[in-house]
Amino acid sequence: MTPAPQHLLSVSRSVSQASPLLVSPTRQRIVFCDFDGTITQQDTFIDVANRLVPDVWGPLQEQMYAFDITLHEAVSRMVAAIESRHYPDIVAGAKTYPLREGFGEFVSFLQDQTIPLVVVSGGLQDVVASALEQYRPGIEAIHAAQIDDSGSHLRIHCEFESETEIVAKARVMDCYVPDGGQAHTHLDAVLIGDSLTDLELALQVPLVFARDRLAQYLRERDRAYIPWETFADVQAYLSQRWAVESTEQGEFKSVEISS
């Protein structure tokens, strides 16, 4: 087993002290992972916006990151500015974005551990599914926004929509909790993310791997997180942590997804 890097181990101790819910033999392991800027090296959604509607997206992006407008408003207005004729090229281009180092190995690692990997993206379902096609057997589910391209311009929607988010990732997590249960008592959830779309879920799960803007937002809120750059970092940390927990408290149960 490859040991976790020392900088990750030092942070893990502060996380454990801050959250007594991290270790429980009765909760079920599950990993939620963002797509844009997390699985991919580049944020594909923002790249599309910058290329196709830069005059619209520029001001919206500034307002969104300043929390002057919601994610829902910023993303809805940006997508509505894109002509539908561009959509086939947007989806086709998904496969051209390089993935972050170690992702394939991480998918295999979770499969070996029989731990579900759920991709939760504030981006577009067709784009995410296209980019991750070769890894799909190792991914439990992909939850992202749907596109209606039947009109002259794109329209975005999602079954997990809220007043403030197109894809409310915390609502996605609720789907993996038994009826009548609560996430913090039933799930040993891990989130891997990088930006604003991950923030609400990051505030609700016991263990967060954060980089870029998400790390900044969590620091500002005095919330603990694990810094990371590659999926090898994440795998090394989880491998060591789960081995210790299994030894000390017995095996966790993995989430059983009903068909």
Question: For 22-26, 87-91, 216-220, 232-236, which range has the lowest pLDDT when averaged over its residues?
Answer: 22-26
Residue 72 three-state SS: helix
List, for residues 71-90, the tens digit of each pLDDT value: 999 999 999 999 999 999 99
| Average model confidence (pLDDT) across the chain | 87
Q: CB of 124 within 8 A of CB of 107?
A: no
Residue 249 confidence (pLDDT): 60
Select from 76, 64, 84 the least CA-distant residue to 166.
Answer: 76
Give 97-151 pLDDT, tens digit per residue: 999 999 999 999 999 999 999 999 999 999 999 999 999 999 999 999 999 999 9
pTM, two decimals, is 0.85
pLDDT at 185 over 90: no
Q: Tally the residues of the chain.
A: 259
Contact 80, 59 (CB under 8 A): no
Angle at 246 between CA 244 and CA 247, to 5 degrees: 65
- AA identity, residue 111: Q
pLDDT at 247: 72
Distance CA 191, CA 24 (A): 17
Query: Average pLDDT of 1-7?
Result: 43
Secondary structure of the chain in HEC code, one letter for each residue: CCCCCHHHHHHHHHHHHHCCCCCCCCCEEEEEECCCCCCECCCHHHHHHHHHCHHHHHHHHHHHHCCCCCHHHHHHHHHHCCEHHHHHHHHHHHHHCCECCCHHHHHHHHHHCCCCEEEEEEEEHHHHHHHCHHHHHHCCEEEEEEEECCCCECEEECCCCCCCCCCCHHHHHHCCCCCCCCHHHHEEEEEEECCHHHHHHHCCCCEEEECHHHHHHHHHCCCCCEECCCHHHHHHHHHHHHHHHHHHHCCCEECCCCC
Check: CB of residue 246 under 8 Å from CB of residue 228. no
pLDDT band per the 50, 70, 90 thresholds, residue 2:
very low
Q: How far is CA 143 from the centre of its chain?
A: 10
Q: What percent of the chain has pLDDT over 90?
A: 77
Q: For position 26, what pLDDT does the model report?
A: 55
In which residue are the tokens 């599309």 written?
48
CATH code for the domain defined by 6-249: 3.40.50.1000
- Does an H or E element contain 190, and which? strand 187-193
For range 26-45, the mean pLDDT: 92
Rounded CA gap, 129 and 74, in Å?
23
**Residues 186-228: tens digit of each pLDDT:** 789 999 999 999 999 999 999 999 999 999 999 999 999 999 9
The per-residue pLDDT for 3 is 44
